[in-house]
C-alpha cells in the first residue's frame, strides 16, 4: 500500500485569514448577529472564538504561558466527554466575555493574531513530533498534523459563518482538499476497536474536485491508512465532498448522511466509516 504524505498547509493561513476579514468587513450588523449551526453562537461569536483560539495557541505554545497551571493544577479529566465539556465551557466563557468588543476592533485583532500565528507555525519543524491530535489517536503526532488540524478548525468555522449569511464557502481545491485529507487521518483511530483479518482493505472515495481515494489496511492487528492499494477492497464507501466534511465535523448525523453514501461490499465495515469524527466533539 502506498503511504500517505503529510498535509502541509502553512501557506494557506494568510489567505484564509484575509478572506475571513473580507467577509467580516462586508457584513451588516444584522448579519453579524445571525445564528449559526454552533448552538447559541452568532456569526460574530464564531469570529470571537477564532480570536480566542489564536490567543490561546500563541500564549501557550509560543510564549510558554499556561493559564490553567498558573492558577493551580486543574482537576484531572477522566473521560473524553469530560474533555469535550470542559473545552466547550471554556470556549463559551471566552465568547460571553468578549461580546462587548466592537466588530472593528475584532477585525484588527484577528489581523494581528493571524499574522503572528502564521509566523509561529513557520518557525516550527513540521516533521518533528509534537503533541497528540486527540481525534487521530493518543500518540504524539507530527507537527504538520497539529498545524493542519488548526487550519481545518479555521476553515470549518469560516464555513459556518458563510453558511449563516448565505455566502459562498472556500471550496476551491486549494483550500478544501487539505481539509478532507486531514480529516481522513482520523480513520485508523475510528477503527481501533474493529477486528478484521489481516489484509482487509476498506476504501473511502470522496467525490468532487477536492476529494480523492484513501485506503485503510488491516496489518499486524493494526489499521494503516494509505493512498493506494493493489488489493481489492473488502468494503468501498463513496460519499460526496460536501457531505463528507459535514459528517466528519458532526454537522450531519450518520442517519442524515446515509442518503448521500454508497457502500459496496462489507456493509458493517463500510458503515463504521460513518463513525469518523475529526474534531473534539
Residues in CB range of 129: below 8 A, 6 or more apart? 140, 141, 142, 143
Residues in CB range of 84: below 8 A, 6 or more apart? 280, 281
Question: Measuring CA to CA, which residue among 206, 132, 184, 140 is closest to residue 7?
Answer: 184
Q: Given this model, what pLDDT does residue 68 score?
A: 64
Rounded Cα–Cα distance for residues 64 and 50 (Å): 20
Packing angle of the helix pair 43-57, 80-98 (nearest 10 deg): 110
Could you give phi then psi for residue 124, rounded to 5 degrees? -90, 155
Could you give phi then psi for residue 42, rounded to 5 degrees? -90, 180
Q: Given this model, what pLDDT does residue 72 score?
A: 46
Q: Give this prediction's pTM.
A: 0.94
Q: Given this model, what pLDDT does residue 113 score?
A: 99
Q: How many CA atoms lie within 13 A of 274 on its CB side?
A: 24
Rounded Cα–Cα distance for residues 143 and 163 (Å): 30
Q: Which residues of 235-272 are buried (b: 16+ CB within 10 A; e: fewer)?
A: bbbbbebbbbbbbbbebbeeeebbebbebebbeebbeb
Residues of the chain with pLDDT under 70: 68-80, 281
Rounded Cα–Cα distance for residues 68 and 56 (Å): 11
Residue 253, C-alpha cell as written in the block: 448525523
Residue 202, C-alpha cell as written in the block: 476498506
Residue 222, C-alpha cell as written in the block: 493494526
Could you give phi then psi for residue 88, rounded to 5 degrees? -60, -40
Q: Given this model, what pLDDT does residue 67 score?
A: 72
CB 7 within 8 A of CB 148: yes
Domains defined along the chain, listed by start = 2-170 (1.20.120.450), 186-275 (3.30.1050.10)
Distance between terminal CA atoms of the chain?
Answer: 31
DSSP reduced 3-state for 205: strand
Residue 226: exposed, middle, or buried by beta-carbon count in 10 A (0-12, 13-18, 19+)?
middle
Q: What is the pLDDT of residues 125-146, one digit of tens each?
A: 999 999 999 999 999 999 999 9
Amino acid at each position: 500500500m502506498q503511504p500517505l504524505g503529510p498535509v502541509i498547509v502553512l501557506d494557506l493561513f494568510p489567505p484564509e485569514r484575509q478572506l475571513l476579514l473580507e467577509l467580516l468587513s462586508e457584513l451588516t450588523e444584522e448579519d453579524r448577529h445571525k445564528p449559526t449551526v454552533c448552538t447559541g453562537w452568532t456569526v460574530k461569536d464564531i469570529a470571537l472564538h477564532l480570536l480566542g483560539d489564536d490567543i490561546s495557541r500563541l500564549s501557550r505554545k509560543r510564549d510558554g504561558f499556561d493559564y490553567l497551571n498558573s492558577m493551580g493544577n486543574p482537576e484531572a479529566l477522566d473521560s473524553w466527554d469530560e474533555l469535550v465539556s470542559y473545552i466547550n465551557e471554556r470556549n463559551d466563557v471566552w465568547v460571553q466575555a468578549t461580546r462587548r468588543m466592537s466588530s472593528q476592533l475584532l477585525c484588527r485583532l484577528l489581523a494581528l493574531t493571524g499574522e503572528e500565528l502564521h509566523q509561529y507555525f513557520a518557525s516550527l519543524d513540521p516533521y518533528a513530533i509534537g503533541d497528540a491530535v486527540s481525534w487521530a489517536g493518543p500518540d504524539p503526532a507530527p507537527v504538520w498534523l497539529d498545524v493542519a488540524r488548526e487550519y481545518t478548525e479555521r476553515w470549518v468555522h469560516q464555513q459556518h459563518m458563510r453558511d449563516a449569511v448565505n455566502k459562498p464557502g472556500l471550496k476551491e481545491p486549494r483550500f478544501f482538499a487539505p481539509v478532507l485529507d486531514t480529516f481522513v487521518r482520523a480513520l485508523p483511530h475510528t477503527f481501533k476497536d474493529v477486528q478484521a483479518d489481516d489484509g482487509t482493505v476498506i476504501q473511502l472515495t470522496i467525490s468532487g474536485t477536492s476529494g480523492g481515494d484513501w485506503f485503510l489496511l488491516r496489518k499486524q492487528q493494526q489499521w494503516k491508512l494509505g493512498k493506494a492499494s493493489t488489493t481489492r477492497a473488502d468494503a468501498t464507501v463513496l460519499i460526496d465532498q460536501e457531505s463528507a466534511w459535514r459528517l466528519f465535523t458532526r454537522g450531519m448525523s450518520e442517519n442524515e448522511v446515509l442518503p448521500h453514501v454508497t457502500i459496496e461490499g462489507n456493509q458493517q465495515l463500510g458503515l463504521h466509516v460513518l463513525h469518523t469524527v475529526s474534531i473534539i466533539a
